[in-house]
Amino acid sequence: MIKHIGVTSSAFLLAAAPLPAQGSAGNGPTEREIPTVEAALRTGPITIDGRLMEEAWRAAPIASGFVQREPIEGNPSEEQTEVRIVLDDRAVYVAARLYDSEPETIARQLVRRDGFGQFDYFEVAFDPNLDRRTGYRFRVSAANVQRDEYLYDDGENDDAWNAVWESAVQVDSLGWTVELRIPLSQMLYEASDDEQIWGVNFARRRVRTNEETELALVSRLQQGEVSQFGRLQGVLIPRAARRLEFRPYALGSAYAGPTEQGNPFATGSDLGARAGLDLRYGLGAQFSLNATINPDFGQVEADPAVINLTAFEVFFDERRPFFVEDAQLYDFSLSGGRDNKVFYSRRVGRRPHGDAPEGAAFEDVPEAATILGAAKITGRTSSGLSVGGLAAITDEEAGQAFFADSGAARSFLAEPRTAYGVLRLQQDFNGGASTIGLLGTVLSRGLPSDGSFDFLPRSAFGVGVDWEHQWNDRTWAFSGYVAGSHIRGDSTAMIRVQESSNHRFQRPDSRWVQMDSTATSMTGIDWRMTLEKRRGRHWTGGVWAAQVTPGFEINDLGFSRRQEVLDGGFRIGYQEIQPGSTFRSYEASFFTVHNWSHDALQDPWSLDSWQSAHVRGSFNLRGELELLNYWQFDGRLSLRPTLMDRNATRGGPLMLGPRSFETSVGLRTDRRNRFNVRPNVSYEWAELGAGSRLQIGMEMEFRPTSHVEIEFEPEWSSSADGAQYVATADTLPFDPTFGPRYLFADLDRQEVSLQTRVNVVFSPVLSLQLYAQPLLSSGSYATYKQFLKPQTFGFDTFQEGTHEVVGGSDGCVGGRTCVDANNERYVDFDSDGRADYSFTDQNFNVRSLVGNVVLRWEYRPGSTIFLVWQRRQGEEVSAGNFDFGRDIAALFNAPAENVFMIKVNYWLGL
């Protein structure tokens, strides 16, 4: 119970007074100021109806005295909030009275479960282990829409975590009230015959005043959230709650798509059905076993369409529920951005690698490998050791190939059976301010003995140790990791890996790494160390160093685009969160990052050596500010110095990357308005004619009623690339570039997309969601040219000519490149009138529409019916020029594939 002086009347018929102010903004909470809440044992029945009339509530002490986090940190709340907590051996009960002098203004927008919106809400968060790093948050809106999250690493949240719990709200003349019943089976905790202390916090938002208040202030001037919670006393849970949950599902589907002349696999229709099971079992109070058999992810939102002209794979976020939940425990991010991970769960059930046998006219290959089963164990010991283990098996996948000459079809292996394993350990100490962790991954493929899949590694291993140490009340932090990788397989697989976009060992001017065509394994290391000042009224910053050795390869079970590199940089930031006469808050930061290849170490005392090995670098200035009317502005200015590009020639010699500049500005209006917008503009320009890019985007949100929300994200971009890679020709050796000739072109691109989301929420348990992304993209390749000399940006430009056949040979008249009626482009390197090399002309127009519609009904707690419509439509032609009217009309006349599904699952908790 919070210590206080004074009395206030309430609907609880008990007295409490506000908590004294928690210190001035910028100082952050201290141990003396941590608020304490007293829990009471349930003494009578409680009906979850939001009315707070039960006698059990009268016996529970009141927690009050909320302070503002927004808009003025540390100020007392404008309206009083009073909370009670009651416990029994099966659940935690929470009741709150939220006073509002204008109850008619309480925002009650309906969104689907776990959704965001502009509504008043109340939330409670628990740290059952008092580790000051992990916890559980339960939020209820004034329209009784639930949201729950798992909190980890003291400042991150996993919103894919889902619990089954009860809530109810009531609006009256005093404001509104809320009741929650949270089963203990939904949280991991330590059962004990002795009274425990948990971490706890309560928070409230009022849309009308844009006020966010909390019982224990989570300061914006300090990193971390759980570490700033209050304390919940009187917790007595002598036995672990029984935790056994089953969620079987059944699914039926119908496919309708285009037919193709002569293709026996494109029949235009198909029917299917499947069933599976998800299971969760509590291993004591602190651990859970989650398993899935034959999982289905048909209700998951489609990946957006992307036109990828780079040398690297595109990263897509994980969306499948089984892998998203608890994903934070297995997260081991590497330097270079959030996309680089030792474990990337989308590798499990990935698209098959195999192709149809040579000579096949048509093929039918599954879009993803079937996951036969997967299981994971997660939990935490009383000593602060978090444990996670994941195992999965994907089935051997077969494709079908049709041979037109014989009229026969036969199956072929598309993907071998594969086993995956991940182990994660993380020990926290020093009151949760410090951690050390271990991650291990393993992949094993059952490759066939005929050698047809020898291009894949047979096994892959990853291991990493990461740490974080904070001191001086978490003001300073030293963090980092060391990760290692090892892959094994046939020399064919090792050659393929060495030549891949994130290695390029075949690069002829490399001084540090070389191809090894006899290798049957690869090993490498990736490490990073960072020193940061994380907390301060105004100033924060950090400095880091990192390295990736040449043999580091994790893309069988992880994701990385990083090549071998030496890495370093620093950041410094300034912020002000106290409102002034013009700005409500503002912040600015400067950071710089630079990468060098290991070639620099060949002559480490030479400045020229480091300059020729400088492969990435930038100087960046960013700023954000918020006006008193809650409009937000942001801007960025970046300078990239002259660099050496290892990827431009796709494994050939280095190409100079000219100096470039980039700037962007953005605006966001008050999000509380029914209609709000976020326009943004960015422009990039590079010297030596290397190119430019202009991108204009807009995010628009419109809420015509409390039940409907519409989001549009139109985006238009226009770019000119002065050196787009086209091909590598081995004809007529060219000594300056070590033999092969590297062809490039000026590429003019235009692209328009319109991501659209429409959410219609009929009730907290019934919603309709639409996602659609039409995309039009064109690319016109002009002025083909040949790269002339390593470490330069010089080219031999080919004049466009006319195609003619002379003496039975293709040639170009009036120029050194030309294209014939079949869209085949010819190049005459030596100007003798005869073509020396040819390839399909690169011009393209992509017209694409992807989307889905999902009707979701939670017909009982934890049990859901999904009605799903998925649609893919599009085509690619080689016109090259952009014509919006023509292209949009062609898009809606393009072939379309439709899938209709009904999926029913049933939650059973024992």
Higher pLDDT, 308 or 213: 213
Lowest-confidence range among 321-330, 727-736, 834-843?
321-330
What's the pLDDT tens digit per position in 2-30? Answer: 333 232 333 332 223 333 333 333 334 44
| Amino acid residing at 162 | N
| Centroid of chain to Cα 79 | 37
Higher pLDDT, 19 or 729: 729
Note the pLDDT of residue 191. Answer: 84
Residues forming beta bridges with residue 698, ordered by sequence position = 679
Lowest-confidence range among 198-207, 506-515, 629-638, 708-717?
506-515
Lowest-confidence range among 182-191, 308-317, 823-832, 861-870?
308-317
Query: What span, in angstroms and rounded, lies between the C-alpha atoms of 766 and 763?
Result: 5
Query: What span, in angstroms and rounded, lies between the C-alpha atoms of 444 and 75?
Result: 57
The rounded percent of the chain whose pLDDT value lies above 90 is 72
pTM of the predicted protein model? 0.85
Nearest CA-CA partner of 623 in 670, 661, 590: 590
Measured CA distances, 153 to 122, 217, 223, 437, 690 (Å): 23, 18, 10, 12, 43
Average confidence (pLDDT) over 48-59:
92
Confidence of residue 304 (pLDDT cuts 50, 70, 90): low
Contact (Cβ atoms closer than 8 angstroms) between residue 137 and residue 122: no
Contact (Cβ atoms closer than 8 angstroms) between residue 647 and residue 654: no
Average confidence (pLDDT) over 565-586:
94
Average confidence (pLDDT) over 103-118:
91
Average confidence (pLDDT) over 625-635:
95
> Which residue has tokens 């990192």?
546
Per the prediction, the chain carries an average pLDDT of: 90
Note the pLDDT of residue 15. Answer: 28
Average confidence (pLDDT) over 97-103:
96
Average confidence (pLDDT) over 440-451:
95
Q: Say whether pLDDT at 105 is over 60.
A: yes
DSSP three-state, residue 194: coil
Query: What span, in angstroms and rounded, lies between the C-alpha atoms of 241 and 246?
Result: 16
Residues forming beta bridges with residue 770, ordered by sequence position = 758, 853
DSSP three-state, residue 382: coil
Query: What span, in angstroms and rounded, lies between the C-alpha atoms of 702 and 109?
Result: 12
What's the pLDDT tens digit per position in 779-813? Answer: 999 999 999 999 999 999 999 999 999 888 999 99
Confidence of residue 436 (pLDDT cuts 50, 70, 90): very high
Note the pLDDT of residue 387. Answer: 92
Average confidence (pLDDT) over 113-136:
92
What's the pLDDT tens digit per position in 245-288? Answer: 888 989 999 999 998 888 888 888 989 898 988 888 888 778 88
